[in-house]
Amino acid sequence: MARLLIRGGRIIDPAQNLDRVGDLLIEDGLIAGYEPPDGPCDEVLHAEGKIVSPGLIDMHVHLREPGNEEAETVETGTAAALAGGFTTVACIPNTRPPIDSQAAVAFIQNQAAKADHCRVYVVACVSKGREGKELAELGQLVQAGAVAFSDDGDPVENSELLRRAFEYCQMFDKPILNHAEVRELTRNGVMHEGLVSLVLGLPGMPAEAEDVMTSRDISLAEATGGRIHIMHVSSVESVDMIRRAKTRGVRVTTEVCPHHFTLNDECLRSFDSNFKMSPPLRGQRHVEACIAGLVDGTIDVICTDHAPHAAEKKMQELDKAPFGILGLETALGLVVTKLIEPGHLSWLQALEKMTVNPARILGLELGTLQPGRPADVTVIDPDIRWTVDKNQFRSKSRNTPFHGWELQGRAETVIVDGRIKYRAGELASVAIA
């Protein structure tokens, strides 16, 4: 029997509302309990002063394979995930070709198995070829292992198609993840529409472009009883609409990315394309609305929207540079530095949004340290201060606006299925015979 004991850490498991100092025992890849074993351990991790969390889950990651392997592969993306403390990622199907078939799902699963870093779940396309015209073979995709559906990168624009998808997906109890953006309102846009875009002369993407589609998505989910997960919410109104829909019992969930609670549209004054993302960095009142949504629980999940781009693509004129930034290797530090340290969220609240909540939305038996569950564990050093250095990233790309930032908190040891897959530093590891 393989035994690993994590000794003396602060165990935080939001799924059980657990926050206490103690030991965590792992046996044969499963959580065994909170007491040291009678017999010997293969390894003991000393975690005094550290936080022992369920393995972090990022439900919104672009691994870029197949099609854009110059930016990221399943191998490099999952290595980056481990370094960021994530034991599970869900990858989004805007690849080339898109993941809209059983074979494509199997390909990702194979690449993930070969890489053998963290768990990878596949979000498959809502529509064939991500063209927004007809439904993909959702039932077959579920059988292949798809955990949710999304045409992310492009919204599902056709309301009738989305309604059918809501109806049909209820047979499998799978959510639709939608990127809320009315394209007619954001055409050619590179940044949030506001005073800053006006002064810089850059074409704007108004918050209403997000709000109009969020409103539609909620209405259709409400009418059909389907499950909608609004991706990367970023505006005052959208957060508020979701808040109100939840009180009515609509099956709506949502997520926010670290850049939307840490940066605002003033950053674009540098004209640096590392501040170009979709939805765009908005004005400060929107940033505050995202934080408020996290605090009151309207926002269920913190995800990264990890979007690698090769340097030659990103280092172009702002209108040509693609949208998106890296997220996996900076998310935890930003959550600690910008949400936990200033007192917006407790550790329990923050980790809930990075463990059990995404697990529940995707229907995964993960994200908790309950005995009997797979032993995915992230040991976090909550006090360590470190400087983001994009050249140290495991990701294949370097497009981050956080290079040079000093952050607090980092994953120290990452365990997947009972196996230590990543160690950052000094955590003692002593084998006991």
Partner 1 sequence: MAEIPEELRNIARGWQRSHLLDLESLSREEILQLLDLADTFKQLTDNCTRKLNLLPGSTCANLFFENSTRTRTSFSLAARRLGADTIDFSRSGSSLSKGESFIDTAKNIEAMKVAAVIVRHGTPGTPQLLAQNLRCPVINAGDGPHEHPTQGLLDILTIRERLGRIEGLTVALVGDIAHSRTARSNLWGLKKLGAHVILCGPATLVSPRWRELDVEISHNLDEVIPRCDVLNLLRIQFERQEQPPFPSVREYALLYAMNKERLARAKEEILVLAPGPINRGVEVTPDVADGDHSAILNQVTNGLAVRMAALWLLCGHAA
Residue placing its CB nearer to partner 1 in the complex, 44 or 190: 190
Return the closest-CA partner of residue 237 out of 245, 248, 229.
245
Contact 176, 149 (CB under 8 A): yes
**31 vs 191, which CB is nearer to partner 1?**
191
Q: Does 311 bind partner 1 (CB under 8 A)?
A: no
**Residue numbers 173-192 binding partner 1 by CB under 8 A:** 187-188
Q: Which is nearer to partner 1, 30 or 318 (CB)?
A: 318
DSSP string, 65-86: TTT-TTT--HHHHHHHHHHTTE
Stretch that binds partner 1, among 124-132, 208-216, 309-317, 395-403 (CB under 8 A): 309-317
CB 23 within 8 A of CB 267: no
For 16, 80, 324, the CA distances from 359, given in Å and listed in that order, are 14, 20, 24
Give the count of beta carbons closer than 10 Å to the beta carbon of residue 405. Answer: 16
Closer residue to partner 1 in complex, CB, 116/319: 319
Query: Which of 317, 342, 343, 433 lies at the binding interface for partner 1 (CB under 8 A)?
Result: 317
398 binds partner 1 (CB under 8 A): no
- When asked if residue 202 is in the footprint of partner 1 (CB under 8 A), the reply is yes
4 contacts 420 by C-beta, under 8 angstroms? yes
Q: Which of 194, 280, 293, 358 binds partner 1 (CB under 8 A)?
A: 194
Q: Is 200 a binder of partner 1 (CB under 8 A)?
A: yes
Distance CA 192, CA 273 (A): 13
Give least dist CB 237 to partner 1, A.
18
Query: Counting contacts by CB under 8 A, is residue 312 touching partner 1?
Result: yes
- Is position 429 an interface residue for partner 1 (rule: CB under 8 A)? no
Q: How far is the CB of 231 from partner 1 (least distance, A)?
A: 27
Pair of tokens at residue 60: 């919104």
Based on its alpha-carbon atoms, the radius of gyration of the chain, rounded to whole angstroms, reads: 21
- Polymer length of the chain: 433
Q: Closest CB to partner 1 among 115 and 318?
A: 318
CA distances from 75 to 67, 346, 413 (A): 14, 33, 19
Please identify, using beta-carbon distances, which residue of 295 and 315 lies nearer to partner 1.
315
With CB under 8 A, what is the number of residues at the site for partner 1? 18
Q: Give me the least distance between CB of 195 and partner 1, in Å please.
A: 5
User: At closest approach, how far in Å is the CB of 325 from partner 1?
Assistant: 17
Closest separation between CB of residue 392 and partner 1, Å? 23
Please tell me whether residue 195 binds partner 1 under the rule CB under 8 A: yes
Give min distance, CB of 76 to partner 1, in A: 24
Cα-Cα end-to-end distance for the chain: 13
Q: Which of 318, 281, 332, 324 is nearest to 306 (CA)?
A: 324
* Least distance between partner 1 and beta carbon 390 (Å): 16
Residue placing its CB nearer to partner 1 in the complex, 324 or 333 = 324
Q: What CA–CA distance (Å, rounded) separates 51 from 48?
A: 8
Could you say which residues in the range 270-299 bind partner 1, by CB under 8 A? 270-271
Nearest C-alpha neighbor of 338 from the set 298, 301, 290, 276: 290
Among the candidate windows 7-15, 234-242, 310-318, 360-368, which touches partner 1 by CB under 8 A? 310-318
Q: Is 403 near partner 1 (CB under 8 A)?
A: no
* Shortest distance in whole angstroms from residue 193 CB to partner 1: 9
Q: Which of 151, 154, 305, 376 is catalytic?
A: 305
Closest-CA residue to 66 (of 93, 31, 87, 90):
93
Give the span between the Cα atoms of 289 and 260, in whole angstroms: 10
| Sequence-separated contacts (24+) of 247-252 with Cβ below 8 Å | 248/222, 250/218, 250/221, 250/222, 251/221, 251/225, 251/226, 251/227, 252/217, 252/218, 252/221, 252/227, 252/228
Rank residues 10 and 309 by Cβ distance to partner 1 and give the closer one: 309
Contact with partner 1 (CB under 8 A) among 199, 223, 428, 432: 199
Q: State which amino acid sits at residue 212.
A: V
The verdict on 198 binding partner 1 (CB under 8 A) reads: yes
Is 151 among the residues known to form the active site? no
Place of tokens 């191998």: 75
> Annotated active-site positions, please?
305
Where along the sequence are the contacts to partner 1 (CB under 8 A)?
187-188, 194-195, 198-202, 270-271, 312, 315-320
